[in-house]
Amino acid sequence: MIDRKHEVKKLISLLKRYRVVGIIGARQVGKTTLARSLLKHIRSASTYYDLENPEDLARLADPMLALKGLKGLVVIDEIQRFPELFPILRVLVDRPKASTRFLVLGSASPELLRQGSESLAGRIVYHELGGFSLDEVGMKNHQRLWLRGGFPRSYLASSDAVSEEWRRGFIRTFLERDLPQMGITIRSTTMHRFWSMLSHYHG
């Protein structure tokens, strides 16, 4: 576990200035872990919804009723699964004297950005989360970061072999599931070759 203190401080700063803050980034980059870490650093009340959890989805069956009475910080994870929440958040943050802050987490898809920008224009700011940086892991671990990359599960794997296995699985999932969800229908083998070419060029 690497404490991402700089990222937590950045989020705290953004939440002081904006009613809604969105953490976007690739799948498995550490958005949920960062949000849970943030909750340990704040003193206000907090509520957490994971929209991949059927129980949390059931709690939001009537989202206006469920959210309007909450105080402090409300975290909504995987918000791209429930785009109907964006206009409801606009109504909630526009209430007179509203003090509740919302932290929403989702994949950095064009659709998510479009929905948020249209419904929450002027009310939301996005913070893009990347993998571990050299500052976070320390100079002594630069070679490990270079070889394994900054995705937490890859970097923190118990061995290089386990790290490589995770990366191969991640790439396969990205090519076969995530890209088609974004409307990109290039054959996975073609995209895999293109991605490999880019990584070798930049390597």
pLDDT in tens, the chain (203 residues): 788 999 999 999 999 999 999 998 888 899 999 999 999 988 889 999 999 999 999 999 999 999 999 999 999 999 888 888 999 999 999 998 888 999 999 876 666 667 776 788 888 999 999 999 999 999 999 999 999 999 999 999 999 999 999 988 888 776 666 555 555 555 656 666 665 666 666 55
pLDDT of the residue at 160 = 94
Residue pair 63/84 in contact by the 8 Å Cβ criterion: yes
Terminal CA-CA length for the chain: 27
pLDDT of the residue at 81 = 85
Amino acid, res. 6: H
pLDDT of the residue at 199 = 63
pTM reported for the whole predicted model:
0.83
pLDDT of the residue at 133 = 93
The widest CA-to-CA distance across the chain, in whole angstroms, is 55
Dist CA 87 CA 111 (whole Å): 15
Dist CA 100 CA 114 (whole Å): 23
Dist CA 27 CA 33 (whole Å): 12
Residue pair 92/63 in contact by the 8 Å Cβ criterion: no
Amino acid, res. 180: P
pLDDT of the residue at 189 = 62
Question: How is residue 97 written in tokens?
Answer: 């004297």
